[in-house]
Amino acid sequence: MRKHITGFSNPTVKYLRSLRDKKHRKRAGQFLVEGLRLLEDARVSGRVPQTLVMAEGREHPLLAPLEAAVIAAGGEVIATTPDILSKITGKENAQSVAGVFDEWDTSLARLDRKAAPIWLVAQALRDPGNLGTMLRTCDAVGAGGLILIDDCADPFSAEAVRASMGAVFTVGLAQARWEEFLPWLRGGEGQLVAASLRDAVPYRGADYRAPCFILVGNESQGLPEDYEMACDLRVTMPMRGRADSLNAAVAGAVLAYEVLAGIEGQS
Amino acid sequence: MRKHITGFSNPTVKYLRSLRDKKHRKRAGQFLVEGLRLLEDARVSGRVPQTLVMAEGREHPLLAPLEAAVIAAGGEVIATTPDILSKITGKENAQSVAGVFDEWDTSLARLDRKAAPIWLVAQALRDPGNLGTMLRTCDAVGAGGLILIDDCADPFSAEAVRASMGAVFTVGLAQARWEEFLPWLRGGEGQLVAASLRDAVPYRGADYRAPCFILVGNESQGLPEDYEMACDLRVTMPMRGRADSLNAAVAGAVLAYEVLAGIEGQS
């Protein structure tokens, strides 16, 4: 059963719109995902939206299984006009569909560190595009997921979800303060590695050990010195230019591919 | 001599604002750069704005050498209010300063391929953040610069310039159609390499040769097949996840660091 909404001032429309704002997302514990491809990625990964919002007249063959999955899970399907969907998503050329998901538990305790040889750890990462890109890299290198330390961008923002290309639904995700993360890490196996200029060895061929946690710092400040000094291994990457830094998501990916090669070489 | 502007409707204010729009940038052949740090990077690299716009009451010690350089080069210095500068840049919290630069010649003929062992080549790259990130990566790996093929984002947009962290001023930049690029490339030394799934070898330890041109495709389509087949070397990167792709700027950087290691190992 589809519910039809035709009025811009409908309270559901207002609620869905409000999810573009972080404050409202956190209060509601829900987030909005636009586009059939992302919703399909979510469905295949076992995550079905609570609410599906479809623009009538723009229906795609893949919408039918999605709609069925939402109804089977007890969710709600809303049919509306393309204009109202545009208003909800804030995009002039709206996708044909959007879904509302419950945010899930992102506590460290939910991660199984032995599930993967590599984990990415980002500290105070401010840019949602970088955050999503790191989730996508996690998928590509077979990492367990991304651990967000201290105050990071919201992984459930539209920009982060989009940049993740759906990996937000498929790889692990945790959020913690450094003061929680470090005892959690030291409570089990795990090598903490950072790119650093302090007392570091070349990143290429360094002695990486699984599970390897690759720590990347804030876009403009880098890592605090005490965070770097808490690492088991500090590595340097060649910097041949005028600046001595890389984009945070790029640095994480170059390291992750090097760690992957190192760990697989051991086995 | 500073010129003072205090009115929002001043034609110069309107002109400067218009440079946020690509169409106006292309017509004027000029672009606007915000922030002292980027302007300092430009100055140190020998690029001085035609016009410098400063918000009075927010002056920084580093502004004096910048202002002197602009005047010495025959440029204009405009002092205005913080509100007007915000209006020009479209940022609520405007930087204290912005500069207008002439766009420069980005024809292939200006590049000296022997000046560097690595070049990045992006085809139909749509995201200005990715474009800027690739310029920044060029700086880090000591690449000669970035060659933009077919219809790419504007390297002189505020977002690309910002993501480049000033590398737009320091590394080479060219724009060309594929039909121009390929004959230019084949007119001299140069190995063209792409990440590919077709008839490819592992990217790790592949036979990279300087000058090595690393070709990265469009964010959603990848490279056209005939572009891939025109490459001298096709390499695959491990893809351990559900998706079989990386962010374009990330893929370019992982390859660039591998090429750097390969080329330096030869020498």
Question: Which residues span the domain enclosing A137?
Answer: 108-266
Say which residues have a Cβ less than 8 Å from residue A222's Cβ, sequence separation at least 6.
A245
Say which residues have a Cβ less than 8 Å from residue B252's Cβ, sequence separation at least 6.
B120, B122, B134, B137, B214, B216
Q: Which of B69, B102, B135 is at the close of a domain?
A: B102
Residue B97 shares a structural domain with residue B115: no
pLDDT at residue B178, rounded to an integer: 98
Residue A73 shares a structural domain with residue A123: no
**What residues of chain A lie within 8 A of the CB of B139, using their CB?**
240-243
DSSP letter, residue B255: H
Residue A172 shares a structural domain with residue A188: yes
Q: Which of A102, A119, A145 is at the close of a domain?
A: A102
Average pLDDT, chain A: 94
Residue A125 shares a structural domain with residue A16: no
Residue B114 shares a structural domain with residue B7: no
pLDDT at residue B59, rounded to an integer: 74
Per the CB < 8 Å rule, is B243 touching A166?
A: yes
Residue B67 shares a structural domain with residue B149: no
Residue A114 shares a structural domain with residue A98: no
- Which of B41, B140, B241 is opposite residue A246, by nearest beta carbon? B140
Cα separation, A187 vs A213, whole angstroms: 14
Residue B186 shares a structural domain with residue B84: no
Per the CB < 8 Å rule, is A249 touching B254?
A: no
Q: Which of B102, B124, B145 is at the close of a domain?
A: B102
Question: What residue ranges in chain B does DSSP mark as E strands?
Answer: 2-4, 30-34, 51-55, 76-80, 97-102, 118-123, 145-149, 172-176, 191-195, 201-202, 212-216, 233-236
- How many independent structural domains does chain B possess? 2
Residue A73 shares a structural domain with residue A118: no
* Chain A interface residues (partner B, CB cutoff 8 A): 41, 44-45, 129, 133, 136-142, 163, 165-167, 170-171, 204, 237-243, 245-247, 249-250, 253-254, 257-258, 260-261
pLDDT at residue A266, rounded to an integer: 58
Give A11 to chain B, closest Cα distance, Å: 30
Identify whether the C-beta of residue B38 lies closer than 8 Å to the C-beta of residue B90. no
Summarised one tens digit per residue, pLDDT across range A16-64 is 999 999 999 999 999 999 999 999 999 999 999 999 999 988 778 888 9
How many helices (H) and strands (E) are present in chain B, helices listed first?
Answer: 10, 12
Residue A131 shares a structural domain with residue A98: no
pLDDT at residue A267, rounded to an integer: 47
**What residues of chain B lie within 8 A of the CB of A41, using their CB?**
242
Residue B143 shares a structural domain with residue B169: yes
Q: Please compute Rg for chain B using Cα positions.
A: 20
**What residues of chain B lie within 8 A of the CB of A240, using their CB?**
139-142, 260
ipTM summary value: 0.93
Cα B172-B113-B166 angle, rounded to 5 deg: 15
pLDDT band at B76 (very low <50, low <70, confident <90, very high): very high
Residue B174 shares a structural domain with residue B94: no
Q: Which pairing describes strands A118-123 and A212-216: parallel, antiparallel, or unpaired?
A: parallel
* Region B179-208 average pLDDT: 95
The CATH code of the domain that includes B189 is 3.40.1280.10
- Which of B133, B242, B257 is opposite residue A139, by nearest beta carbon? B242
DSSP letter, residue B218: B
Identify whether the C-beta of residue A39 lies closer than 8 Å to the C-beta of residue A64. no
Q: Which chain B residue is nearest to residue A129, measuring alpha carbons? A: B129
Cα separation, B14 vs B28, whole angstroms: 13
pLDDT at residue B94, rounded to an integer: 63
* Region B156-171 average pLDDT: 96
Per the CB < 8 Å rule, is A140 touching B243?
A: yes
pLDDT (tens digit, 0 to 9) for every residue of chain A, 267 residues total? 789 998 889 999 999 999 999 999 999 999 999 999 999 999 999 999 999 999 988 778 888 999 999 999 999 999 999 999 999 998 877 668 999 999 999 999 999 999 999 999 999 999 999 999 999 999 999 999 999 999 999 999 999 999 999 999 999 999 999 999 999 999 999 999 999 877 899 999 999 999 999 999 999 899 999 999 999 999 999 999 988 889 999 999 999 999 999 998 754
DSSP SS3 for B161? helix
Summarised one tens digit per residue, pLDDT across range B2-48 is 899 988 899 999 999 999 999 999 999 999 999 999 999 999 999 99
Picking from A167, A161, A140, A128, the residue whose alpha carbon sits closest to that of residue A248 is A128
Summarised one tens digit per residue, pLDDT across range B89-105 is 988 776 689 999 999 99
Identify whether the C-beta of residue B235 lies closer than 8 Å to the C-beta of residue B207. no
